[in-house]
Chain A
């Protein structure tokens, strides 16, 4: 499912009279089980590309195929279903549902998927333990630290066993220690579960974990190379 192919993706935004090219004929292939970092300065198009891969944003032109399925012909509802069943998202700003506890945040997507309650509870407990939050299941986001909230977001992203996790600047609001823990977690999930990770970042600490680095600038892919992971100490 997680094989990704992009062909000639274009996307422009308008700010007043100015036209900003976020994606400029971007073509890309990402294999299943990859651990890819998109890097580049702000405004280089990383987040736009990530949003397009997740079906959150629609390119002006070009094709995206995820798991052999073209995204450009899908309705909003079909795109939502695809995200629900096949993708996990981790955002920069934690983005948890504030009125739900950590466990409920993790269970929520499974609830929407119709997973039975007992199974949901077991899975949520397991993944929260996996991300190091055992014992904190009943806390609401406001009662957790930034690092803990991001771990809940990761637990939620992997709870429904997606083939693909898209992470947008996941360490931007974390201290070095929390960032290293999070990246270790990503690497473990990638290795043990075979989850494909596509991470946008301009954080060198994150790039150090990648097996493939794709550099972007002004909406163009300016570099694409294999990389030997060399995690840095926190």
Chain B
């Protein structure tokens, strides 16, 4: 016998509204649960994406090329020639959006008040701009004007620690390829606010050519950072870059350069799923209770339907449909609520009061919730799957009622 879906749907829908108050309360509970799932997922995903993006801007790039020993000893000794030939051709073609060669060496910066250990970055501002790796928030002074700029741009926190300021002279000290100490006086031309306070203390920017001259390395560089503006699809173009780099250079994806950052994305989906399941498990007690009550209230009617010739499977199907309608309505409301509450937060949520604590995780002062369709789909799948599973017991019980006993129930 074909399933009389229309008959079952009509019955299920009307039965759902027999007790308006109970149905509305359950609907509200499901809708709020679904909203919580999606809203929290959006916050968590926004947090993760921000951590990844901040991390990528610090690295910078989704892929980096180094001399093979550089990561073991990130000194000027392990530098490499600027890209040429096939590698340069790959870097200048799609999908690569931007790349930059930079000098990156450990250094000490000293003012008349103190000294700090830093990472000296010799950069070409035009190339770095496209990578998004330059500090964007200049508090004082100016940014670097070219790769021959001999000024320094330092972080606000570092400036405070060194008790120096804009226009003051400081000394930068590092080692040349022969392990001789080299140093040069330079003027602070800009003070930046970093996305992360730790970066303000750590990174000092100078023109690439000026740093190369200081270190005596000619045109050699420490690393090449490459981006295609989509950290999730790095696997698509990484092999071409790695092949062009050859065996002398080491090409690493961002997930290898910063394994913690890489694992963030991997565990994000798992965390979201677990959270959704936990929320729904709490909800499912209410759902089961609603259905048990709904079945209990119409035992006699169920007995009647059996007496009239409805197979147990159809009784089960009708109760399951009732549950499905309730779940779908709850999902619709919950998703709508989520969109309506997340959309106004597109400008970000100010979490500066806790940002210092969160900074250790790579967070910045503004959190941007990220509403992903995959989270809405995941919550839908969780709610429908677990909801129907939870409904099976009362529906099964209803379908197995003895018609004679059911018909004589008061």
Contacts and interface: CB of A to CB of B under 8 A. Distances in A.
A109 B1 contact: no
Interface in A28-60: 51, 54, 56-57
Contacts of B11: 97, 99-100, 108
B306 A80 contact: yes
A104 B309 CA distance: 16
Given A99-B11, A99-B14, A112 B309 contact: yes
A114 B2 contact: yes
A89 B14 contact: no
Interface string A112-134: 11100000000000000000000
Contact of B309 (A51, A83, A97, A98): A83
Interface string B281-301: 000000000000000000011
A64 to B, nearest CB: 15
Interface stretch (B55-63, B210-218, B311-319): B311-319
A23 B14 CA distance: 40
A97 B7 contact: no
Contact of B15 (A84, A99, A111): A99
Contact of B304 (A97, A99, A111, A113): A97
Contact of A114 (B1, B300, B304, B407): B1
Contacts of B300: 95
A193 interface: no
Nearest to A104: B10
Given A97-B304, A99-B14, A109-B308, A57 B1 contact: no
Contacts of A76: 311-312
| A-side interface mostly | helix
B4 interface: yes
Contacts of B304: 91, 95, 97
Contact of A89 (B1, B307, B310, B313): B307
A98 B404 contact: no
B403 A108 contact: no
Contacts of A135: none
A77 interface: yes
| B-side interface mostly | helix
Interface string B340-362: 00000000000000000000000
Given A77-B312, A99-B18, A112 B306 contact: no
A98 B301 contact: yes
B305 interface: yes
Contact of B404 (A56, A80, A81): A56
Nearest to B13: A99
Interface residues of B, number: 26
A85 interface: yes
Interface string A78-106: 00111111010101000101111000100
Nearest to B315: A80
A1 to B, nearest CB: 14
Contacts of B407: 56, 91, 95
- Interface residues of A toward B: which range? 20 to 34
B18 A57 contact: no
Interface in A186-215: none
A111 B7 contact: yes
Contacts of A104: 10
A91 B403 CA distance: 13
A80 B301 contact: no
Contacts of B247: none
Contacts of A87: 309
B6 interface: yes
B396 to A, nearest CB: 13
A142 B15 CA distance: 15
Nearest to A156: B308
Contacts of B14: 99-100
Contacts of B10: 100, 104
A114 B309 contact: no
B322 to A, nearest CB: 11
A89 B407 CA distance: 12
Given A99-B11, A99-B15, A56 B403 contact: yes
Nearest to B308: A109
A112 B314 contact: yes
Nearest to A87: B309
A77 B301 CA distance: 18
A75 to B, nearest CB: 9
A82 B312 CA distance: 14
Given A56-B307, A81-B311, A112-B309, A51 B404 contact: yes
Q: Tell me which of B1, B4, B308 has the highest count of chain A C-beta atoms within 10 A of its own C-beta.
A: B308
B97 to A, nearest CB: 60
A224 to B, nearest CB: 25
A100 B2 CA distance: 22
10 contacts: A56-B307, A76-B312, A80-B309, A80-B311, A81-B1, A95-B300, A97-B301, A104-B10, A112-B308, A114-B1
Given A95-B300, A108-B11, A111-B7, 16 more contacts: A54-B307, A76-B312, A80-B309, A81-B311, A83-B307, A83-B309, A84-B308, A98-B18, A99-B11, A99-B14, A99-B15, A100-B11, A108-B7, A112-B308, A112-B309, A114-B2
Interface of B: 1-2, 4, 6-7, 10-11, 14-15, 18, 300-301, 304-314, 403-404, 407
